[in-house]
């Protein structure tokens, strides 16, 4: 990108004056140094300019439906209709170049780690995984269909069986499912890898090395733990309400059900629910005693908008004795508050947000509340990447709608423990060598 200059008495000036944005011009001229003080150090060519001597219009552009310069937001419909213009925008250009560089870097890193890249077939027979297959009619066999692979799962396992030790592929995956916020509908690419004769630990070592190098190469943000934290699935659900926790958020969820069995807690609504099998869990916010009432009420109101019955709350205070201040604080004796503080590491000046209900319900609302409260308090460090592995997934789970036992995660997995000692009469107790990598809640 270079600045070109023309005097208004030049015979080509009227041609340039009439030229519209995005027209294609062929310009001839002389490269000269810019006058002192007029250099533009933001441009690579900012110390020179071209004095125009000839102009030829190669292609004249009509008025644009969306401008290419500037980064205004446009409806997706317009952006997709005029994709050739959308892709000229600086942000889109940078994204596509970044994608190319990331894929190129992954390839070189995987080769360094001893992997070889193989391509797997795109037309295959149907093999249900997690979504619906895309089907393609066969011309040679009327009434029969090919499927597009949801992942190269079976092909890469054939490659392993055939004695190819380490495989990787930047693989297209086709899934006939609803669009998600973080991927294109119907198709997306993933780094797919497979290794023979390895343990979970070997996979972790490869992926951690790759991710750390990748994120260091393409971002200036810090990585909070280069040796990724490992969190068992059950612990993740208990502490964060989700199996994809954002560890930049310091808030955790505390189990407080037992406290509501005490006689000196008079919070009858929760006590009745606990007697019928409900659980009580809480989020503690540090030193929020000076926050206005509106801060707490807004979070309670927000929880109701999410379909929950709201979040009860109070703040721990101390004058002569420890007491609870807020709508439900009066229901707790000093001894019960001391017990609560001991169980949750809460301190005087902290606030407690309480949810009561079935386990799945409170996991869901407190997971959302954890993010909402942290954003309102502005305590998420946006300048870091916080990675973790979620490990020890249950092999099976109960489908709430059908009450049948189904795979919880991925059927292509090895159960933990010796095969002849597994108790298949209690399938929900069996854990698997399954894991997800999570970064900043994704």
Cα 183 to Cα 243: distance, rounded to the nearest angstrom: 19
Cβ(354)–Cβ(313) below 8 Å:
yes
pTM over 0.95: no
The proportion of the chain whose per-residue pLDDT surpasses 70, expressed as a percent, equals 99
The proportion of the chain whose per-residue pLDDT surpasses 90, expressed as a percent, equals 78
pLDDT tens-digit profile of 119-167?
Answer: 999 998 887 666 788 899 999 999 999 999 888 888 998 999 999 999 9
Cβ(369)–Cβ(285) below 8 Å:
no
User: To 10 degrees, the CA torsion angle through 178, 183, 189, 194?
Assistant: -80
pLDDT of residue 235: 97
Residue 425 region by backbone torsions, left for phi larger than 0, else alpha for psi between -120 and 50, else beta: alpha
pLDDT tens-digit profile of 191-239?
Answer: 999 999 999 999 999 999 999 999 999 999 999 999 999 999 999 999 9
Lowest mean pLDDT of 16-25, 177-186, 236-245, name the range. 177-186
pLDDT tens-digit profile of 307-340?
Answer: 888 899 999 999 889 999 999 999 999 999 999 9
Nearest one of 123, 6, 104 to 55, comparing CA atoms: 6
Cα 378 to Cα 368: distance, rounded to the nearest angstrom: 15
Cα 425 to Cα 45: distance, rounded to the nearest angstrom: 73
pLDDT of residue 317: 94
Confidence of residue 180 (pLDDT cuts 50, 70, 90): confident
pLDDT tens-digit profile of 249-270?
Answer: 999 999 999 999 999 999 999 9
* Other CB atoms within 10 Å distance of the CB of residue 139: 7
Average pLDDT, the chain: 92
pLDDT tens-digit profile of 69-124?
Answer: 877 788 889 999 999 989 988 889 999 999 999 999 999 999 999 999 999 999 98
Cβ(347)–Cβ(222) below 8 Å:
no
pLDDT of residue 201: 95
Instruction: Judge whether residue 286 has pLDDT over 80.
Output: yes
pLDDT of residue 130: 65
SS (H, E, C) the chain: CCCEECCCCCCCHHHHHHCCCCCEEEEEEEEEECCCCCCCCCCCCCCEEEEEEEEEEEECCCCCCCCCCCCCCCCHHHHHHCHHHHCCCHHHHHHHHHHHHHHHHHHHHHHHCCCEECCCCCCECCCCCCCECEEEECCCCCCCEEEECCCCHHHHHHHHHCCCCEEEEEEEEECECCCECCECCCEEEEEEEEECCCCHHHHHHHHHHHHHHHHHHHCCCEECCCCCEEEEHHHHHHHHCCCCCCCCCCCCEEECHHHHHCCCECCHHHHHHHHCCCEEEEEEECCCCCCCHHHHHHHHHHHHHCCCCCCEEEEEEECCCEEEECCCHHHECHHHHHHHHHHHCCCCCCEEEEEEECHHHHHHHHHHHHHHHHHHHCCCCCCEECEEEEECCECEEECCCCCCEEECCCCCCCECCCHHHCCCCCHHHCEECCCEEEECCC
Confidence of residue 438 (pLDDT cuts 50, 70, 90): very high
Cα 217 to Cα 219: distance, rounded to the nearest angstrom: 6
pLDDT of residue 199: 92
pLDDT of residue 28: 97
């Amino acid at each position: 990108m270079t600045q070109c200059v023309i005097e208004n008495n030049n015979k080509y000036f009227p041609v340039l004056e009439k030229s519209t944005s995005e027209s294609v011009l062929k310009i001839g001229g002389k490269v000269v140094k810019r006058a002192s003080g007029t250099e533009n150090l933001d441009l690579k060519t900012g110390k020179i300019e071209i004095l125009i001597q000839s102009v030829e219009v190669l292609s004249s552009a009509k008025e644009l439906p969306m401008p290419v310069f500037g980064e205004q937001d446009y409806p997706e419909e317009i952006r997709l209709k005029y994709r050739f213009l959308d892709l000229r925008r600086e942000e889109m250009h940078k994204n596509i170049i970044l994608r190319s560089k990331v894929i190129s870097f992954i390839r070189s890193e995987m080769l360094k780690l001893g992997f070889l890249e193989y391509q797997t077939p795109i037309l295959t027979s149907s093999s249900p995984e997690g979504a619906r297959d895309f089907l393609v009619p066969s011309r040679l066999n009327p009434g029969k269909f090919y499927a597009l692979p949801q992942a190269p799962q079976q092909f890469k396992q054939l490659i392993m069986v055939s004695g190819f030790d380490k495989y990787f592929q930047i693989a297209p995956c086709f899934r006939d499912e609803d669009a998600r916020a973080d991927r294109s509908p119907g198709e997306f690419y993933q780094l797919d890898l497979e290794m023979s004769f390895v343990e979970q630990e070997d996979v972790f070592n490869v992926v951690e090395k790759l991710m750390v190098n990748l994120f260091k190469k393409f971002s200036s943000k810090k990585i909070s733990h280069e040796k990724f934290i490992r969190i068992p699935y059950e612990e993740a659900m208990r502490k964060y309400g989700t199996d994809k926790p954002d560890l930049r958020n310091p808030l955790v969820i505390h189990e407080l059900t037992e406290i509501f069995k005490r006689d000196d807690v008079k919070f009858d609504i929760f006590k009745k629910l606990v007697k019928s099998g409900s659980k009580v869990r809480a989020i503690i916010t540090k030193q929020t005693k000076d926050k206005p009432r509106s801060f707490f009420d807004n979070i309670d109101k927000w929880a109701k908008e999410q379909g929950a019955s709201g979040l009860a709350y109070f703040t721990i205070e101390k004058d002569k004795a420890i007491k609870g201040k807020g709508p439900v604080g009066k229901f707790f004796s000093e001894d019960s508050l001391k017990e609560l503080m001991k169980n949750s590491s809460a301190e005087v000046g902290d606030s407690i947000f309480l949810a009561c209900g079935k386990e799945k319900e409170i996991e869901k609302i407190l997971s959302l509340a954890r993010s909402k409260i942290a954003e309102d308090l502005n305590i998420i460090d946006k300048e870091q990447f916080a990675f973790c592995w979620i490990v020890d997934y249950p092999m099976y789970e109960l489908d709430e709608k059908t009450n049948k036992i189904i795979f919880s995660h991925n059927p292509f997995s090895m159960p933990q423990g010796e095969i002849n000692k597994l108790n298949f009469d209690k399938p929900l107790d069996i854990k698997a060598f399954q894991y997800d990598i999570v970064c900043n809640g994704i």
